[in-house]
């Protein structure tokens, strides 16, 4: 069971989402606006946030920025179809996924289940344990969901971790954006190339802060693990 914060100013949508998530065994914390969502996030042990973009007080984008300033808890946006620019911006500032309205409650539950599995907060289907990965000074522990450069831990979001794990698993291989979508989000996700680029930028920024360029762009093709010592 996960504790899921659902913030939307539409009471009917909150009711539908709560019913679907509680039927899936989760605990739901409901909020009607962004300010209430931030207060609830600070006061409760939240495992994932489901945010509407257009809300009073503070909108979903403001909530996402505030949460990302101190936490990498997974964030999923609910967005109306005519808010494409907002959806793209939401992913660029750190959301892990989005679903457009109107949406299927079953799809929402499935997306949340996939995110929780990637974070280790929910059990995955029986399969071989994912072994630790090491490339030079870069190491990942998929079982404990931790990333290190030498002895320094780098805190990554769910999607950033999945992207880096995919790149490390391929050694010198160049992955197209479509291949990275399949590996990081799972097959069947309608994730745009721009979304992949946004998450790669965020991943790079975290390593750039310690003087490391962990991802290399292969123009016209995609990405591979950066030169540095990570590919030694």
Is residue 183, in this structure, part of any structural domain at all? yes
- Percent of the chain scoring above 90 in pLDDT: 28
The two structure tokens encoding residue 81: 């179809």
CB 183 within 8 A of CB 118: no
Is residue 32, in this structure, part of any structural domain at all? yes
Last residue of a domain, one of 67, 91, 119: 119
User: In this model, does residue 187 exceed pLDDT 60?
Assistant: no
**Residues whose CB is less than 8 angstroms from the CB of residue 220 and which lie 6 or more positions away in sequence, other chains included:** none
Q: Are residues 19 and 103 in the same domain?
A: yes
193-201 LR contacts (CB < 8 Å, sep 24+):
194/88, 195/88, 195/91, 196/163, 198/88, 198/91, 198/92, 199/91, 199/157, 199/159, 199/160, 199/163, 200/163, 201/92
Mean pLDDT of 168-180: 83
User: In this model, does residue 126 exceed pLDDT 50?
Assistant: no
Q: Are residues 184 and 102 in the same domain?
A: no
User: In this model, does residue 73 exceed pLDDT 80?
Assistant: yes
User: In this model, does residue 225 exceed pLDDT 80?
Assistant: yes
Containing structural domain, residue 169: 133-231
Q: How far is CA 103 from the centre of its chain?
A: 19
Is residue 83, in this structure, part of any structural domain at all? yes
Q: Beta partners for 156?
A: none
Domain count, the chain: 2
User: In this model, does residue 215 exceed pLDDT 50?
Assistant: yes
Segment 112-122, tens digit of pLDDT: 988 887 766 55
Is residue 219, in this structure, part of any structural domain at all? yes
Strand segments (E) across the chain: 3-7, 27-31, 48-52, 75-80, 97-101, 133-135, 138-141, 146-149, 152-153, 175-176, 215-218, 222-225
Determine the pLDDT at residue 56. Answer: 86
Q: Are residues 113 and 189 in the same domain?
A: no
Determine the pLDDT at residue 129. Answer: 59
pTM of the model: 0.62
Q: Are residues 102 and 185 in the same domain?
A: no
Segment 15-31, tens digit of pLDDT: 999 999 998 999 999 99
Categorize the per-residue pLDDT at 232 as very low, low, confident or very high, splitting at 50, 70 and 90.
very low
Is residue 127, in this structure, part of any structural domain at all? no
């Amino acid at each position: 069971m996960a504790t899921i914060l659902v913030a939307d100013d539409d009471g009917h949508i909150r009711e539908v989402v709560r019913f679907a998530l509680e039927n899936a065994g989760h605990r739901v914390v409901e909020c009607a606006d962004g300010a209430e969502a931030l207060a609830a996030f600070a006061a409760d042990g939240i495992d994932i946030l489901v945010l509407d973009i257009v809300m009073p007080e503070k909108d979903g984008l403001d909530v996402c920025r505030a949460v990302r300033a101190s936490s990498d808890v997974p964030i999923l946006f609910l967005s109306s179809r005519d808010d494409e620019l907002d959806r793209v911006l939401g992913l660029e500032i750190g959301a892990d996924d989005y679903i457009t309205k109107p949406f299927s409650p079953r799809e929402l539950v499935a997306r949340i289940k996939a995110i929780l599995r990637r974070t280790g907060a929910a059990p995955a289907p029986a399969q071989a344990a994912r072994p630790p990965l090491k490339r030079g000074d870069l190491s990942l522990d998929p079982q404990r969901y931790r990333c290190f450069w030498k002895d320094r831990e780098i805190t990554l979001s769910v999607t950033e971790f999945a992207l880096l794990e995919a790149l490390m698993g391929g050694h010198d291989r160049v992955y197209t954006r479509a291949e990275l979508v399949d590996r990081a989000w799972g097959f069947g996700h309608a994730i745009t190339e721009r979304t992949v680029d946004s998450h790669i930028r965020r991943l790079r920024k975290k390593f750039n802060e310690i003087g490391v360029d962990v991802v290399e762009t292969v123009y016209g093709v995609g990405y591979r693990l950066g030169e540095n010592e990570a590919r030694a």
